[in-house]
Amino acid sequence: MPDFYTSDDIRRQNGDQGVDPTREIGRTAFRKDYARLLHAPSFRRLQGKTQLFPGAESDFFRNRLTHSLEVAQIASGIAARLNHLPDARNFGDGIDLDLVEFASLAHDLGHPPFGHNGEAALDELMVAHGGFEGNAQTLRIVSATEQKLVSDSTGAPSNAFGLNLTMRALASVLKYDRLIPLERRDGSALVKGYYDSEKELVSNIKDAIAPGHVGEFKTIECSIMDLADDIAYSTYDLEDSLHAGFVTPYSLFDALANQSPIADAVLEKTNKALADSGYEPLDNSGQLTDCIEDVFKGLQPQNGVSTNTGVANKFRAGANAWLRDRQLASNSLARNQFTAERVGSLIDSVEVKINDAYPQLSKVILSREALLRIEVLKHLNFELVIRSSRLAVVEHRGKDVVRDLFVAFSDTEGRLLPDDWQQEYRDADTAAGKARVVCDFVAGMTDRYAAEMHDRLFGKGMSIFKPL
């Protein structure tokens, strides 16, 4: 039976092996990683970052923190299920639930204020200095910018190792195994991966987790987190959209059946996901409506009444459909039942594709039917909600805020930064290094703090007493 979590896997970033790396005072190394994350300021700030709808609109809507908690719950459920399957023997004592939850809670740490538009703004500003990308920023946060005083390999105190996590925990957030180029041309597409500043660390992670491995690197914990994120996004973001009145079951169906530009965009993205998973693509957009049938559960005529004959029967079927549409649009209990049943059935559809040579790099997959249910709703919600004019106005404004703050901090040579960040700025000895310090600070802002700081710099908020 392979040793799924070797001592090399779980040695900490600074290489300190002065204590038993697997257990200390009754806590596993991964439980300590989990605790360090929960106490980190960057984790708390997730409560002030938008998931889908701005938090100022309502305290009902999910933010990045509550989304991450839901992803952790789903990921833990997936791991627990896999640990009870026959294939669990490939994982020694099983997949560690603390590690899976750590990956899930950490996965959105690197997202900047104002969502994807904030990310796009920072990438444009950093295009000549290594770019910006949320997942790359997550790895940078936990390994460098968050500070915890520890003893280095010589015994001297140091804050150079971020949260000083185990290699396996760092690997669990390495979602894209690609080096982001140091320089790209203006206007080039955002690149998902890791920064050049973490290149050596990523090499050390790979050597520790899967020595000798050649090819795509992604641990099973990261794979579980990634899938749980998709399940949460396609389910709970839809629930928020239903609650906000942005969509109803009827509008979802109408978009796929009657709005060709939206249906074609959803079909293209869905077929890409199918191809990436080795499944046959859909032939045409007309097949998309079958993939969201779980939204319409309960629309069938009751008592076996056919919809094919008679005006009364058709009217009755239409009335049932209208009732279901109203239920999901206005009844919180109906929405809760829908999301609970959907998440449960998707977790039950998860399978594992074992990597015999490197079990730690095994991959979780969904059946084709379950994958379709996720991808179609995920991309449909994106087209109808995230790209809607109402959200576009908010995100457009957010992009301006992020850009203005970055430029102001840079043009004043860091003097507008808090004292500790000013020192970081002065210590950086290259233009790229100084730009990265500014980028780190702006990316860590919450939506409200960024908007407030922008108002202080460019609007009416000119108090000299409120600290930075």
Question: Could you tell me the two tokens for 129?
Answer: 């200095």
**pLDDT tens sequence across 395-409:** 678 899 999 999 999
Considering the domain architecture, whether residues 201 and 53 belong to the same structural domain is answered as yes
Which pLDDT score is estimated for 403?
A: 96
* Residue 28 Cα distances to 24, 25, 35, 98, 421, angstroms: 6, 8, 11, 9, 33
279 in a structural domain: yes
Q: Does residue 350 lie in a domain region?
A: no
Q: What is the pLDDT of residue 26?
A: 67
Q: Does 465 map to a domain? A: no
Tell me if 369 sits within 8 A of 353, measured CB to CB. Answer: no
Same structural domain, 74 and 180: yes
Asked whether residue 468 is domain-assigned, the answer is no
Does 286 share its domain with 333?
A: yes
Tell me how far apart the alpha carbons of residues 332 and 344 are, in angstroms, rounded to a whole number.
Answer: 18
Q: Are residues 43 and 171 in the same domain?
A: yes
Residue 238 falls inside a structural domain: no
Q: What does the DSSP assignment read for 71-96? A: HHHHHHHHHHHHTTSGGGGGGTT---
Identify whether residues 82 and 139 lie together within a single domain.
yes
Residue 355 resides in a domain:
no
pLDDT at site 275: 95
Number of separate helices (H) and strands (E) present in the chain: 19, 6
Domain count across the chain? 2
Contact 193, 133 (CB under 8 A): yes
Residue 337 to residue 235: CA distance in whole angstroms = 12
Cα 442 to chain centroid, rounded: 19
Q: What is the pLDDT of residue 305?
A: 47
Closest CA to 381 of 46, 50, 48, 53: 53
The parts of the chain modelled with pLDDT lower than 70 are 1-3, 16-26, 53-59, 153, 296-319, 321, 392, 394-395, 460-468
How many residues comprise the chain? Answer: 468
For residue 399, the domain's CATH number is 1.10.3210.10
One domain for residues 178 and 37: yes
- Looking at residue 16, its pLDDT comes to 67
Distance CA(89)–CA(293), nearest Å, equals 36
pLDDT, position 401: 94
Which residue range(s) make up the domain with 375? 245-344+365-387
Indicate whether 200 and 53 sit together in one domain. yes
Q: Are residues 405 and 440 in the same domain?
A: yes
Residues 374 and 419 in one domain: no
pLDDT of residue 454: 94
Structural domain includes residue 234: no
> CB under 8 Å, gap of 24 or more: what pairs does 233-236 form?
233/378, 234/373, 234/374, 234/375, 234/377, 234/378, 234/381, 235/339, 235/342, 235/343, 235/346, 235/377, 236/62, 236/67, 236/70, 236/339
Do residues 427 and 371 share a domain?
no
pLDDT at 387: 77
**Dist CA 444 CA 132 (whole Å):** 13
Task: Kindly write down the DSSP assignment for every residue of 202-213, as one continuous string.
Answer: HHHHHHHHSTT-
The residue whose two tokens read 């004292």 is: 419
What was the pLDDT predicted at 302? 46
Q: Write the DSSP symbol of residue 280.
A: P
> Looking at the structure, do residues 316 and 424 belong to the same domain, yes or no?
no
CB-based burial, 396-409: b 16+ in 10 Å, e otherwise: eebbebbbbbbebb
**CB neighbour list of residue 331: distance below 8 Å, 6 or more residues apart:** none
| Residue 252 falls in which region: left (phi positive, over 0), alpha (psi -120 to 50) or beta | alpha
pLDDT at 265: 94
On whether residue 172 sits in a domain, the answer given is yes
Task: Report the pLDDT value the prediction gives residue 56, as an integer from 0 to 100.
Answer: 61
425, 439 contact by CB (below 8 A): no
Q: Are residues 317 and 268 in the same domain?
A: yes
